[in-house]
Structure 1
Amino acid sequence: MVPLRLALYQPDIPQNAGALLRLSACLDVGVDIIEPCGFVLDERKVRRAGMDYIQHSSYVRHPSWPSFRERLAAEGRRLILLTTRGEHRHDRFSFRPGDTIMVGRESAGVPSEVAGAAQARLRIAMRPEARSLNVAMAAAMAVGEALRQLGAFPEERPEEGSCA
């Protein structure tokens, strides 16, 4: 089983989606994009943030939440939601191979039906007066922690350049 996937629930901002596709390419993490998106999802729209890394990203588009949830169940994956109302801190949570980390819409998060379907809801520890992190930054932090725990960072290939 693939160690980890990242799910974007109805993303609103193409630059964030592009940044997460770039993260996907650099860290070899598959992405699930749950539609509808708040923008036309095509390579041109996300290329600016994703640059030429998008061609190395592995992503699957799902036409709806029910179709994504069906596939998640069929593959036996655990859904881990990043939310400001999470019960657990991301750095104190035990990730497992096969987990799918989900981020919500930048403008509205996820509906209660989606939050209720998650096996765990995680938050990133922040100063009390801070509202939230950018969705791409939060996803990068959680994906990095999960890969660290799973020992699943890709092998470095210095001869091929850097994703930094």
Structure 2
Amino acid sequence: MINIVLFRPEIPQNTGNIGRTCVLTNARLHLIGPMGFSINDKTVSRAGLDYWSELDVTLYGSYEELREKYKDSKFYFSSTKGKKIHSEVEFEDEVFIVFGRESSGLPEYIMEENRENLFRVPMAETSTRSLNLSNTVAIVAYEALRQLGYPDMK
């Protein structure tokens, strides 16, 4: 099973879509606050449709709280500033894959502490900043699951 981590998400529809992806890929969702919305926001559940009640989701007050709880786990970090591309990462079972805020990505201190575990999803060079967060999560989650042989999926 993989673990998807959202660092201070801002857009409820993205979190709802990511929650739906997590349910359908048997992934756990970890949300680090503060968030830009309430988890009970109708737009979260609307985007997640009837899947939200099946979601394995945990809330954290800080990044440090998550890291302390899972101090022996492997973490990877998605950033447009990563040198490796997502398919070059060797994902393993129970891995934590961390994604930053929609507007600003991951904070510099997290990227500095984890420079070797940063990766990016390749994109064409355009004036557009980056892919939508829920699309990026889906791309990376399916690459991790492909590497693990799509466990418990038909």
Aligned residue for 2:5? 7
Q: 2:139 aligned with 1:120, yes or no?
A: no
Percent identity reads 30
Normalised to the residue count of structure 1, the TM-score between the two structures is 0.87
Whether the 8 Å CA contact 2:12–2:41 is kept in 1: the answer is no
Normalised to the residue count of structure 2, the TM-score between the two structures is 0.92
Match of residue 60, structure 2, among 62, 68, 84: 62
SS of the equivalent of 1:51 reads: helix
Give 2:123's aligned amino acid.
M
Whether the 8 Å CA contact 1:124–1:138 is kept in 2: the answer is yes
Aligned structure 1 segments of 4 or more residues deviating by more than 6 angstroms: none
Task: Compute the displacement of 1:72 (Å).
Answer: 2.2
Number of aligned positions between the proteins: 152
Give 5+ residue unaligned stretches, structure 1: 157-164
Give 1:120's aligned amino acid.
N
C-alpha RMSD of matched pairs (Å) = 1.4
SS of the equivalent of 2:135 reads: helix
CA–CA distance in 2 between the matches of 1:71 and 1:116?
21
SS of the equivalent of 1:66 reads: helix
CA–CA distance in 2 between the matches of 1:155 and 1:110?
30
Task: Compute the displacement of 1:108 (Å).
Answer: 1.0
Aligned residue for 1:81? 77
Give 5+ residue unaligned stretches, structure 2: none
Task: Compute the displacement of 1:92 (Å).
Answer: 1.9
